[in-house]
A and B are shown apart, each in its own frame.
Chain A
Amino acid sequence: MKVSLEINGQAVETEVSAALRLSRFLRDVLGLTGVKEGCCEGECGACTVLLDGKPINSCLMLTFQAAGREVTTVEGLDGSSGLQDAFLQLGAVQCGYCTPGMLVAAEGLLLDKSSPSEAEIRHALAGNICRCTGFETIVQAVAAHAATREGACR
């Protein structure tokens, strides 16, 4: 079936099969390999994308369900915003597998709430699992970035 949607600001029109997951479409068809399919059951969050600005698990959505909507993957995040730099500077990345999902989930949080508390950051990232860092530096990176972004807005 034919589906039109917007991905990272670009209009995309494509033919997809009914059962194609959004995560597979993004990775395999469009080559957006920042989207990782870790568990395919909504536990790990490595496939997190923004759907109309809100974080979702792209493995738990069929591509045709995204018709007419806006999808943002890590490739579509503004790399100059500083969130990614904050991850690098605070050592919030080790193997890197969870990082795209973490970044997208964090971006979703910051779109909703510009200066989240540590508890709110942890709650917002609870759907993203990292096996390396112990989460501490990830939470610090999101908090540090939120502080600079908030400062820049004033």
Chain B
Amino acid sequence: MHKNSRSLWEFANPKRFVSIANKLIPWLTICTVLSMSVGIFWGVFFTPNDYRQGAAVKIIYIHVPSAFLAINIYIMMLIASVIWLIRRHHVSLLAAKAAAPIGLTMTLVAILTGAIWGKPIWGTYWAWDPRMTSFAILLMFYIGYISIWSAMEYNEKVGDLSALLCIIGSIFALLSRYAVIFWNQGLHQGASMSLDKEENISNVFYLPLLVCLLGFVSLFFTLLLIRTRTEIRIKRTTSLLRMN
């Protein structure tokens, strides 16, 4: 490759990644704090109550972004794992490893906020509805992925195994999801902010929700960069210790 040609793979260099992460983390933190506080304050205090759900509707500002992240973090882990298997960039593998606990937390937050909302509105904390079941399935595959990392020491072999487990997990999570949907159409309402639908939630709720979503996404990136940086440093330290 030509020396001056720039490509995306430059960022796979751990040293470069850490220096960029160091520069980005303060800005991302500011962005997270600003957009999350603005979004949640706007949503909770300056929007009307829903005419049927009352004030309970306001949990949407945490529920929807965390559910959005829970699914997309798994997809991000899948992509990072595939990149690791093909191009063998350690940063990619470490990013997948770092993202898993964040994804697990987001899944739990989505399930918990859904349960809190569900009690007054549906009259139950939990039902085996397809959407909720798919979150339970997602939770299991996150736990499986994290457990393989927690059980074994870091090396390339475990990296390969975890990446393969992530791919297998996504295949079977999808299969299980559609197996559940086949038998049960469910209780949960459709997507709140899909791009291709005629009917979404009204603009009054939509705009603060968008700000909250931005806040959660930048929260994810902040945490991801910090955690990946930590993982890179742990890896360096352990290999230094092994040398001596």
A and B are interacting partners: no
- Taking beta carbons and an 8 Å cutoff, which residues of A are in contact with B? none
- Taking beta carbons and an 8 Å cutoff, which residues of B are in contact with A? none
